Amino acid sequence: MSPVSFEHLAKQNPKYERALREVEAWINAHPQDRVLNPVRLRRDIRKPTAADLAIALTLLEKAGLLRRVYKVVTPSGVLTDAEFDDPTKIPEKLPDRFENYFDTSEADVIPIFRRVA
């Protein structure tokens, strides 16, 4: 897979260039990862602020390079396999990785970003 470049977007948004470059470097270092979890990104990318990183992800989404979807955190702390375009469409029960169903009403829902290109 060829390297990802956010050159054009970084030039259009100089205030967030550093955050965009850090995300670009992370994607190029992890070509097998089709999903960007903001929590993992924040752990791996420490230089821009959390707010700048969030804005960079939003800019990439608005540019059509990422698509926001939602996942549910299981009681054991891992993400479910299921992805939802709308968090209000999450069913009342979902299976964890062992196919044990749990109540989603008390579970955390996090946005993740799926790579489009």
Look at residue 110 and give its three-state secondary structure. Answer: strand
Percent of the chain with pLDDT over 90: 85
Interatomic CA distance for residues 62 and 18, integer angstroms: 18
Q: For the purposes of burial, counting CB atoms within 10 Å of the CB of 113, is it exposed (0-12), middle (13-18) or buried (19 or more)?
A: buried
Q: What is the mean pLDDT of the chain?
A: 92
Tens of pLDDT along 47-98?
899 999 999 999 999 999 999 999 999 999 999 989 999 999 999 999 988 8
Q: Which residues touch 21 (CB under 8 Å, ≥6 apart)?
A: 6, 10
Average the pLDDT over 37-44 and give the result. Answer: 92
How far, in Å, are 5, 65, 103 from residue 36 at the CA level?
16, 12, 25
Each residue of 67-88: b (16+ CB within 10 Å) or e? eebbbbebeeeebbeeebeeee
Predicted pLDDT at 13:
96
Q: 37 pLDDT band (50/70/90 cuts)?
A: very high
Predicted pLDDT at 110:
94
Domain ranges of the chain: 7-66, 68-115
Predicted pLDDT at 2:
60
- Segments in 1-117 forming alpha helices (H): 7-12, 17-29, 38-44, 50-62
Predicted pLDDT at 4:
78
Percent of the chain with pLDDT over 70: 97
CA-derived radius of gyration, the chain? 16
